[in-house]
Amino acid sequence: MNNANKWPLWPAVIHAKCPRCRRGKMFANAMYGFHGQQMLKQCDHCKLTYEIEPGYFYVAMFVSYGMNVAVLITLSVALSVLTGSTNPWLYVIVLLTASLILSPFNFRYSRVILLYWLTPGLSYQPEYSADKPESVLPASDPGDSIAPLNLN
């Protein structure tokens, strides 16, 4: 394998690139905008279908929930230590505001975390990072690199 063709993990995660080729985008538009976020159906580089099965991104809600709880606990402790206040409205206002401001971030990165680390059988495959993956690889179904989930 040629190391020059390897695309690094963290820039791909931060820029929400495809988990298989780390080149194609996962989202069609910016994280913060007036039109919401639109996730692409498949990678524009390696043709990986992001929604592996119908409703797959419901799982991302649990990831998003975990991220939100982590932020809220951290903020609550920080508020308590920094202000020493016992006024519940301070906490309600600050935590709700933080939760609202961070919701587009949570939406995007819960899906990124789900596809990068919580999807069995889906991993980085450097051969898909080539400039023209379809010329290197035989024509195949999108998502064929993903092992079928055994739900029994």
* Contacts with Zn ion, residue ranges (CB under 5 A): 18, 20-21, 24, 43, 45-46, 48
Looking at beta carbons only, is 48 or 63 nearer to Zn ion? 48
Write the DSSP string, 14-26.
Answer: HTTB-TTTS-SBS
Closest separation in Å from C-beta 18 to Zn ion:
3
Looking at beta carbons only, is 43 or 63 nearer to Zn ion? 43
Inter-residue contact 17 to 23 (CB < 8 Å): yes
Inter-residue contact 16 to 25 (CB < 8 Å): yes
Closest separation in Å from C-beta 86 to Zn ion:
51
Closest separation in Å from C-beta 6 to Zn ion:
14
Beta strands in the chain (DSSP E): none
Closest separation in Å from C-beta 21 to Zn ion:
3
Looking at beta carbons only, is 20 or 111 nearer to Zn ion? 20
Among candidates 44, 23, 18, 29, which has minimal Cα distance to 112? 18
Looking at beta carbons only, is 16 or 21 nearer to Zn ion? 21
| C-alpha span between 53 and 149 (Å, rounded) | 10
| C-alpha span between 98 and 60 (Å, rounded) | 20
Closest separation in Å from C-beta 78 to Zn ion:
38
Looking at beta carbons only, is 7 or 91 nearer to Zn ion? 7
